[in-house]
């Protein structure tokens, strides 16, 4: 089991790293695909940041889905960076109570 705050920090870390790697590689993209790849380079890392927020709210399965979506971040040659998000996202989706330890943040309303 992993503390909720560690998972949240990891999701934010993945969002930042994915965004930096994806944006740094935009110079190698064909001009006709620049808009699509640029949008993906921003949108997919943002889903990892949303996963962190979902973990804080106690929505572990939602966080797992969002981490799985974030795996589509275009990291090109650095594809191994996507693997931890893939594994944690799958684990949160399939078996959230066995992965996350700790309570959601105080003051966060969860249904």
What pLDDT, in 10s, does the model give residues 71-103?
999 998 899 999 999 999 999 999 988 888 887
pLDDT in tens, 41-61: 999 999 999 999 999 999 999
Q: Answer for the pair 73, 82: CB distance below 8 angstroms, yes or no.
A: yes
The interaxial angle of helices 83-94 and 4-24, nearest 10 deg, is 140
For 15-87, strand residue ranges (E) read none
Question: Mind listing the pLDDT tens digit for each residue in 63-73?
Answer: 999 999 999 99
With beta carbons less than 8 A apart as the criterion, state whether 71 and 40 touch. no
Residue 107 has pLDDT above 90, yes or no: no
Q: How many CB atoms lie within 10 A of CB 84?
A: 14
Can you give the pTM of this predicted structure?
Answer: 0.88
């Amino acid at each position: 089991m992993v503390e909720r705050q560690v998972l949240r920090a990891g999701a934010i870390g993945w969002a930042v790293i994915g965004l930096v790697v994806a944006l740094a590689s935009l110079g190698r993209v064909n001009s006709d695909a620049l808009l699509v790849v640029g949008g993906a380079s921003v949108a997919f890392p943002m889903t990892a940041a949303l996963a962190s927020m979902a973990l804080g709210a106690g929505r572990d399965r939602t966080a797992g889905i969002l981490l799985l979506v974030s795996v589509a971040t275009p990291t090109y040659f650095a594809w191994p960076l996507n693997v931890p998000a893939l594994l944690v996202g799958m684990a949160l989706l399939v078996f959230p109570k066995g992965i996350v330890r700790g309570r959601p943040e105080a003051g966060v309303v969860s249904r």
